[in-house]
Structure 1
């Protein structure tokens, strides 16, 4: 008796047929976390899951009240969490490890409460352990007590989707394994539920029914996994944009989670815009590596900016405080006034890594995705009329304005608001004027407010500026996943060297406010060197070229060391190190230009990648990560320069702002392919001429020999590019063939599965035809009727006979009385009479009776009128 009771307590095959798939499915989910190795050392989540499922199984079978079971499970989970997390700490004694764990959690809580990035990883380990425990326990509880597999499937899906969403694609196999086991778990749970219903009605579930159920279930699961594997990722861009623009509170939540997980290393490459806030000397991550970053489709190679830096310090560059402006799809950014020689350019970027930074060239206008445009916050100036010494911190034009206000106070004791506005130039606006009130002797008749000059002490004014020329960065509302495509429209300069040479030094005040800043501790010898190098140059453009030529004599080197503490980075590069990468060269050019009064800044992003003329695209890798200076020219805006020698030596303006591709030896911006072919034919003809004939032709068209040499060099580059494309053609063909073979193998797998499924269904249909002649067909029809009735909660009572059960069903379905009587009567006769076989007429009557009753049962099940 004891053995029978213990065996019953252990459960039958139905119960273990659910527990085993449950554990395997959840193990796939937590195993994906263990495989990722988010932290080191990593807790054993498999052991925690085993203990959680075992606890859920034991408590699910116990007779304790629920109000006791659940708190007990939480206490046990906390104990397991404490035990596993303390094992990750280096202390030897158990009590010492527990104490160390509590101190670490206390420190983490204090850091989190202060909204600062957390340090250490022990809190993340505690989170993983406890979530694994709760998931295993709750899933087992609902499986045993409620026969509900969806809770387990949902919890496991959340775990695996969140984990895989932050991992590279090679880990996605875990999802398909989980999907297969989840489908099996749902099917086995339903099978166990049906078996329970059959037993409740006193009918044994046929063993062959298990095969008929499991075979289609496994085939369907395999087919579903294969379909999910081959189905391409579908992005609902409008929905993503709506969610991003209408749920801005998500950014606060993401920022909070970023603080919580600040010390957890990322497993999936993620280029965050806010992580590019500083450009430091000694950064050797530029100009190296083959890690694919993106593909750009445009009319020619472009310099693409991810962030602009305007503040120089001795250790590198940062950006001033920026204001965010949300732009929806196709929303136009205001263009700056008074800027000539510009044209619009549209290009497309295909990302190859997760990022929220848009790649921008020139001045941003619009994008086909919703964006957040970060622009420099307009500067405000506080004028203290009682302390003239404070004017030393003000720009010259504002300091002069402050003197005018003081002169008015001396001449007039009372200043009206309209007089203040009249003195302000167009690029300044009044924001505050100290403490203002009506004068007592003029309040009754004054047509407008009057300020008592004795009380006016401070005036606050703000500089107006064009937003499009002061963009720090453009970001997307939500991170862009790999292979996401977006299109940008920008305004780029088409000014020629002759145009830039005519630009003077009459810069707008907002330009001088931001882009002439230098540290007070800048070494004097650096200023002297800048003046010496540009002594012969008369225009800002000539000065920029002079500094660029001077820097070309320095050695280019990728790996560089940061300058010593307290030493200016540019001074150390020019006078001591004399070698560096793009950070040193771009910083040196920008600082030297500022030292002689030419506004400049530094941009970071990507240099032009490998250009494919056939497809009109360029590939960006980590090798193209780059930094370059940009110079402001009055009337023409910002123009980029290539200061790094490895990029071509003595180039002039670069395509990021000028569109002058010929200055870098790149394809000219011709109108169409026919014009380009004609140009190539002309250059080849000139190359074949003898030197006297070539000189005569140059004189006839007014060209210099240097210009022709540049074009001939460009021609050689184009021919070399075409030969490289042809050489790569065979490799591409091989890769495509290999990809097709792999795709064929993958496609062949679901075809085989489908054929197998069709075969099984056909076998089942053939078996159904054959079973009509067997003696148990009446029992099977009766069981099916019982099953449908059970769904309607019309199962027979334990004391009812089949005929009494028939009378109950007939009262509910009066229109199907004859069909019900046929099924029940035939079933009783086959069960209790000596004759077991059915003749042809009886089989036909059973088929007709079943076809009459099951539509009525289904209509009642779905509450349809009939």
Structure 2
């Protein structure tokens, strides 16, 4: 017992420090239960380890059962107070586990904090029990130390603030345990060979090791503690520069790797981007954007296609023009709010965009929707140079990226004044093809790897559709690519093939990197300058706060096409759920209408004050049962004289008001086709004819038509129009050609008649639904 006690106390200190750091890490509320969980695990591990007659398998089984029981007991205080018994608590955890499994299996994300604490309890139990067993039964030392060190380092790396004191306690206890166990093993060796040694030798060694560790801590405490920020920054830059360079090189070599949460969303490659295999992104929030106009948020523009991916050579060309040693040294510094000398371009307006970082940006790239004009941060701008009179002058119109001079951290806010395009279709069609020299030199170039059938496909599509202008030709190629299925789970591309050719003719599916690459290559093959851009799609609009929430899983790439006098214009060949085709007016004098653009209307720009408008409209609706007077309120006697009848009318009025509010909420922001279909589906759902998740719009239309045969033509026409808008590719707006057929919505009279029939069905079907409810 005298030999076991010091070892057990050191194990208690070592593992206890790790568990303590976990319990104060703020991963979730209720982590205090980890401490008694680990304590009992250590005690049971020590007891079972010192019973030589106990079979290891039986010991582990008993330990697991006791740990499971103890965890449920400890979590009882965090559960509903109505769960009085252990059986009730265990059943609740089982149900939570089943629900969690179904959510994860369906591709969702688990959000049950109690289950997280329960799993963490089991892991802590396993850590404590296995540490005591390995040291006291097996005589192992390094394995339990490394296991505890792994847990401590993972927690220390990700948690803020850092649990420094528990980490140093763990470190000292681990060193002392290593010394003590080594002496114990030597002592057993000496005893076996009858070698004499001093009494209490392990404790003497342990005391000496404790003295050395204490001395090191005291010496460390007397080291200089006042270090200037400048000195610390220089030291950190010097120490971290090799790792930063290695990280950037690693990202250039393996740009499609799946990074851990918090890392994948924080970095884009700035020099090269390979087209790789499947990808998987998290739903972690990257940033929030407050902007009056919807757009994509550009990070880096790439100009050179290699057959295997893309390269950004703008920095290299700027380096060569200035004669400096690295592309980073050729970036132009700009002060906060200092305007960039960019060409204003036709059809562009200033839009203020406010970005709030939700995670650290490891690449320090400044995002922008449009062309950056003013940025509230000190920045470094990577742009090219052009010869003018034999002298290299800055060309900010060929801008590849903007980086902040200081690190971009979570919760940091910066503002960008951007020049966003509002060019109309007629103007872009009339822009011609008189491209500047720098555009012709770099944004029409293609490598020899591009196959003849890629050229032929682009030429055939343009000829078959009779597209004469670069704008119409870009639309034709965009619409063709949107008919190719989207998938993030693709096979690994062959190493020796041109990957655009492989995507177009072999794989025939892919994600944004391939769609954007194919469109740029096909446009360049027909003499239309384009570039490949990487950043984020617009994101989800939060109506309560009036911001776009941008997550890692909308990291995106898209093509931009150059139009003389207008600059770079965005197109969208990727038909994914998070993408939006740009909406452009037909002419400068007409309102927004995409019926001639070959693409759908972009969603209406969400208005944070739309609920005020809704409330104002609702106030104008007369409520049945409420007496309207000219300026004098009705007396209480008149109000009560209505009796039950008036109360019924008031209830019906409130019900009608609720239905109207829900109706306006469901249909707000949808396109004309989407609103018509959603209105029909909403009324049908209220009448008991809801659309199941697995049913397509066409199938749902057939079901509704069978239930309402008098309105069959209207229902089928609505379902077809909506299906073409969502899945049909080129035609996604009313009055637009779709493979030779014109997509038209039913007349207003027909839709109103359908709505009246569905409303009648709500009330006629109500008795049947009530009887079914009573029987159930």
TM-score class, shorter-chain normalisation, is: 0.3 to 0.5
Q: Higher relative contact order by CA 8 Å / sep ≥ 6: 1 or 2?
A: 1
TM-score for the superposition, normalised by structure 1: 0.42
- Decide which structure has the larger Cα Rg and report it: 1
TM-score for the superposition, normalised by structure 2: 0.47
